[in-house]
Structure 1
Amino acid sequence: MKNLTNYLLILAMIFIASCSNEDIDTNDSGNGTSSEDLDENGLPKIIFDIQLPTMSNDQEYIIDLARWDIPNNRTDAIKTTANLQAAIDWAHQEGYSRVILPTGEYLVGEDVNTIYQGGIEIYENTEFVFSPGAILEIDTNNKWNYCVISLKGDNIIIRDGTIKGDRDTHVFTPRENDGKTAHDEGHGICVWNKSNQVLVKNMIIHNLTGDGSLVLDANDVTFIDNTIYNNRRQGISIVGGTRIEIKDNEIHHINGTTPQFGVDIEGPGRIDEDILIHKNYFHHNTGGDIVNTSGENVYILDNIMEQGDGNTYVDGPIVSWHKTHTIIARNTITMDSGSVNGRLGYIQYSSGGDKGHNRATYVHDNVCNNCGMYMYKSADADVRRNKFLGYFVAFSDFKNVVLIDNLVTYSQEHPNLRFCWSYRFKEVTGSASGNLLEDTLEEIPLSETTTYTMQCVLDGW
C-alpha cells in the first residue's frame, strides 16, 4: 500500500507539472511570460490607461488685465505675480473651469525663501489657456529652485502657450552650505503634491535652469504636442510617477548640467511605473534622449532619436538600468559619432548582483543607424528583428538572452571592428536563431545551460 501511495503521488506531481507547462508560452522567449500578456508581435501588452482631466463645467473667464492691474509688457515681476495670482485665485473661487491668459509677455517671480523663487500657482479643476502670443517668463533670479507654473491639485490642463526660463541671465550664486552652483531645479511646469489627471498640451517650454517639466509623485500625467528645448538639466524629469504618457513632443538641445536627457525616469525610493513614451522626436540632447533608472513597465515606442550635427552624446540615445523593466520597440535611432560608450543606440547599465525582478527587457523592431546595443551583468532579454547598421550587438555576463532575426552590418568607417565585433558574447546563456551578419546567416551557439564566450574574446580582441 505504501508503494502504491508513492506511485500515485508521483503521477499526480507529473500531471501538475505538465498542466503548468501548458500555461507557459515558450514562443522562443525563454522568459516565462504568459501568452495572454503578449501581443501578436511578442511584446507585452499595454494594460494601463492614462486618465485625462475632465472639467465639471464650461464656464470661461478671460483675465481682465485692467481690472486686476496686470502688466503684460514684460515689466514689474513682483506686481505681475501678485495681481495675476489674485485673478487666478478669484476665478477659481468663482467656479470658472477655464481661465484664459490674454496675449502679452508676463514676467513673474516671487522671493519665497533663500533657495526658492515662486511663480504662478494653478489649482484643481482648472484649464489654464494661453491666448496666441502669450508668454509667461520667470524673472532673473539667483535661486537654486523655481517653478514658473506650479500645479496644486487634481484635474488640471495647461495649454497653448510659451513658458520661458532665465538661463541666459540667471545669477548662479554659490550655495552657502557647500559652495555649489548647479542651480538645476528651475522648472517650467511642476506637477507635484500628488496631483492626478494633468494634461500639458501644445506648449513651448524653454531656457529653464533645470527641467522643462518636473513630475514628482503624480499620477495620470500626459504631455502631448509640446516643444521643449534648451533647458539645462532635462526636457522632462519623472521623479515618482504612475501612468505617465509622453507623446508627439519635440524635445531637443537639452544641455548645461547633468544628466541632460530628453526624458529622465529617476525616482529613487519612489514608484515609477506604467510609463508610455511614444511618437516623439528627440535631437541634439547632450546626455541622451531617454534614460530609465527606476521605472517599471516603461514603454519606449515609435520614437525618432537623432544625435544631430555637432552634438556629442555623453551616455547615448537610450539608457536603462538592469533593475528596471523596459520595452523598446520600433524606434529609429541615428548616431553621427559616439558617446563615452561608443556608438551604442541602446545600453543597459548594471551595478551587478541581483537583477531585482524576473521580467525581461524587450528590444524589438528598432532601426539603429550607425549604432548598436550592449547589455551586461544582468539577465532576461528578448531581442528580435532589429537592424543594427554599422556597429555591433554585445552581451557580457548575461543570463537568458533570446536573439532572433536581427541584422548587423559592418561599419564602413571602422573596418577594424569587423573581426570579433559584430555579434559579441562573453559568459552568456540563452538561444539564438535567424540572425544575419550582412547577408549571411550567423551561427551563434548559445545554450540555455552552458555559458558561451567567443574565442576571440578569450584571446583579448
Structure 2
Amino acid sequence: MKNMRKKKYRFLLPIALCLALLSFAIPYDQVVNAADINITKTGAIPNDGKLDTNAIQRAIDDVASSGGGIVDIPAGTYDVAVDTDGTALTMKSNVHIRLAEDSVIELRPNDQGIYRMFFLGDVDNVAFSGGTLVGDRSAHEGTDGEWGHGIQIYGHATNVEISRMTFKNFWGDGIEISSRDSNVPDGVKINRITADNNRRQGLSIVAGRNIQVTNSVFKNTNGTPPSAGIDLERDPPYDKRLENVTITNNVLENNEGYGLAFVYVDSHTIHASGNKIRNNKEGGVFLGNANKTTVRDNVISGNGSKIKDDATQNFGSGVFLNYSSENTIAGNDIDQNYRYGIHALNGVNDNVFKENKITNNKSEAIKLYGDANTRIIDNQISGNGNEHTGADHSLTNGSIKLEYIILAIALICLGAGAFTLKTNKRIGYGMIVFSIFMILVSGLLVTGMVDPFSTISR
C-alpha cells in the first residue's frame, strides 16, 4: 500500500523541478508586477550618447499591451529623436512614465517647425512624474514654425496627470493642450512642474475642459510671440470648448511676453487665483477678446519693463484688458508695474475692478478708455504716478465720465441756440454748430475712436 502511494505522487517531482528552473529564468521585478518595465530591460542605456527612442517606445507598448502600468526611467541622460511626422514617443492609455529625479530625456536637434517629444493623442488614464525633458532650441536646425513641444495633449485625451517635472529649451511650448476637430482634452492636472526657457510658451491651452494648473513655475519664456508663461488662447474660428480651467498658486516670472494671457476665451469658469505674476516684460496679465473670466487674489508686480524699449505699444501694465467684457479683477495686489495698474482699452464693457490694492505703479492706478459700465468698487489706491491729474481720486463709484459731461453741455447749448435764433440768428446758429461739434466729440469718446486726453485717467 505504501509503495502504491509513492508511485502515485512520483510524477509531481519533474513538474516541481521545471517550475523551480523557470523561476530563475524570469526576472524578479517582472514576477512581482509583470506590467511594470524599466527601460533598461528594453535596451535603453543611459549616458552613452546613442538613441534610446526605440527602447523607450518598446517599454511603453509592452506596458500598454499588458493592461497598463509603469515605465520606469532610471537616473541618467537618454537621447530621443523625432520621426518624419515630428513625433519622438507616442503614449498609450493606462501608462505612467515615472522618471527618477535626476533622469533626463533630451531631444536630438531637428529642422521641423512642428514636433512633440511625447504625443498624447486620444489616450486615457496617463501620467508623467519626475525628471526633466529637454528640447532642441539651442541647436534647432530649422528657422520655421513655433510648435516644437515637450508634451502635446491632443484630441479626446482624458485623465492626464503631470507632476514634479521640468520642461526646458523647447522650440515651442513646454506643454500644449489642443483639440482634434470637436474633440477636446478633458481632465488634465498639472502640478509642481517647472517650464523654463521655452521659445513660445511655458504652457499653451488651446482647447479643453476640467484643467487644473497648480503650484508650478513658468519662467524665462522668450524667442517668438506671445512668449507668455501661460497662454489660454483659442484658435480660429474660436469655437472649441475651453472651460472649467483653474490657474492656482503658480509663479509666472521673467517671461518676454505676459505672465498670464486669456485670449479669445468666453467662459465664467476660467479663473486665475493665488498666483505670483512678476517681472514679465510686456505686462502681468493680458485679457484680449476675453469675456467673463476672473482674476482674483494674485500678486502682480514689477511687470512691463518692455515699455522702456517701445513706448508706442500698450505694454507695461499690471492688468491690460482689450476688447474684453464682463470680467472680474478683484482682490489683487497690483504694485510697481511700469505703466498703469489696470488698463482697460477699447470695447471693454461691464467689467468689475473690485477691492484691489493698486500701489506705486509708474502711471495712473486705473486707466479707462473706450469703456462702458465699468464698476470700480472699494479699491485701495496710493503712490501711483501722475497723481496730480486726480487719477487716484476720480475713480470712485458713480464717477461721471468726461464724454457724458461734454454731451450734457452740448445739449444745453443746442437748446439755448434754438431759443436764441428768435432774437439773434448769427449767435443762435453759432451755438447750434458748436453743439453739434461737441456731440460728435462725445460720440468719438464713447466709441473709443479718439483719446484727446491720453495723459489723464478718466
Unpaired segments ≥5 residues, structure 2: 1-32, 180-184, 308-312, 409-441, 446-450
Asked if 2 retains the 8 angstrom alpha-carbon contact of 1:393 and 1:424, the reply is: no
Judging changes above 3 Å, is the alpha-carbon distance between structure 1 residues 184 and 342 closer, same or farther for their aligned structure 2 residues? closer
Equivalent in 63, 86, 92 of residue 38 of structure 2: 63
Equivalent in 183, 191, 199 of residue 145 of structure 2: 183
Q: Deviations over 1:3-51 (max 9, x none)?
A: xxxxxxxxxxxxxxxxxxxxxxxxxxxxxxxxxxxxxxxxxxxxxxxxx
Equivalent in 29, 46, 50 of residue 72 of structure 1: 46
Q: Which moved more, 1:329-338 or 1:132-141?
A: 329-338
Q: What is the TM-score of this pair, normalised by structure 1? A: 0.72
Judging changes above 3 Å, is the alpha-carbon distance between structure 1 residues 460 and 109 closer, same or farther for their aligned structure 2 residues? closer
Equivalent position amino acid for 2:244 in 1: D
- Asked if residue 93 in structure 1 is aligned to residue 65 in structure 2, the reply is yes
Asked if 2 retains the 8 angstrom alpha-carbon contact of 1:393 and 1:408, the reply is: no
Task: Find the counterpart in structure 2 of residue 211 from structure 1.
Answer: 173
Judging changes above 3 Å, is the alpha-carbon distance between structure 1 residues 227 and 460 closer, same or farther for their aligned structure 2 residues? closer
Q: Deviations over 1:349-395 (max 9, x none)?
A: 12xxxx7xxx7211111011113001132211121111111232022
- Asked if residue 398 in structure 1 is aligned to residue 371 in structure 2, the reply is yes
Q: Structure 1 segments of 4 or more deviating over 4 A?
A: 449-454, 457-461
- Asked if residue 380 in structure 1 is aligned to residue 350 in structure 2, the reply is yes
Judging changes above 3 Å, is the alpha-carbon distance between structure 1 residues 305 and 323 closer, same or farther for their aligned structure 2 residues? closer
Equivalent in 138, 146, 149 of residue 107 of structure 2: 138
Q: CA deviation at 1:74?
A: 5.1
In structure 2, how many angstroms separate the alpha carbons of the residues matched to 1:409 and 1:192? 46
Asked if 2 retains the 8 angstrom alpha-carbon contact of 1:182 and 1:257, the reply is: no
Partner of 1:123: helix, strand, or coil?
A: coil
Q: How many pairs align?
A: 358
Q: CA deviation at 1:151?
A: 1.4
Partner of 1:86: helix, strand, or coil?
A: helix
Judging changes above 3 Å, is the alpha-carbon distance between structure 1 residues 210 and 159 closer, same or farther for their aligned structure 2 residues? same
Task: Find the counterpart in structure 2 of residue 224 from structure 1.
Answer: 191
Q: CA deviation at 1:193?
A: 2.5
In our comparison, the structure showing a higher alpha carbon Rg is 2
Q: What is the TM-score of this pair, normalised by structure 2? A: 0.72
Task: Find the counterpart in structure 2 of residue 253 from structure 1.
Answer: 220
- Asked if residue 128 in structure 1 is aligned to residue 94 in structure 2, the reply is no
In structure 2, how many angstroms separate the alpha carbons of the residues matched to 1:251 and 1:222? 15
- Asked if residue 111 in structure 1 is aligned to residue 88 in structure 2, the reply is no
Asked if 1 retains the 8 angstrom alpha-carbon contact of 2:169 and 2:199, the reply is: yes
Q: Which has the higher helix share?
A: 2
Asked if 2 retains the 8 angstrom alpha-carbon contact of 1:59 and 1:98, the reply is: no
Judging changes above 3 Å, is the alpha-carbon distance between structure 1 residues 424 and 196 closer, same or farther for their aligned structure 2 residues? farther
In structure 2, how many angstroms separate the alpha carbons of the residues matched to 1:460 and 1:348? 16
Equivalent position amino acid for 1:211 in 2: D
Task: Find the counterpart in structure 2 of residue 349 from structure 1.
Answer: 322
Partner of 1:124: helix, strand, or coil?
A: coil
Between the two proteins, what is the percent identity of the paired residues?
23
- Asked if residue 155 in structure 1 is aligned to residue 115 in structure 2, the reply is no
Judging changes above 3 Å, is the alpha-carbon distance between structure 1 residues 59 and 318 closer, same or farther for their aligned structure 2 residues? farther
In structure 2, how many angstroms separate the alpha carbons of the residues matched to 1:224 and 1:110? 27
Unpaired segments ≥5 residues, structure 1: 1-57, 173-180, 426-431, 434-442
Judging changes above 3 Å, is the alpha-carbon distance between structure 1 residues 97 and 423 closer, same or farther for their aligned structure 2 residues? farther
Q: Which has the higher strand share?
A: 1
In structure 2, how many angstroms separate the alpha carbons of the residues matched to 1:403 and 1:220? 35
Q: CA RMSD in A?
A: 2.6
In structure 2, how many angstroms separate the alpha carbons of the residues matched to 1:204 and 1:460? 44
- Asked if residue 285 in structure 1 is aligned to residue 255 in structure 2, the reply is yes
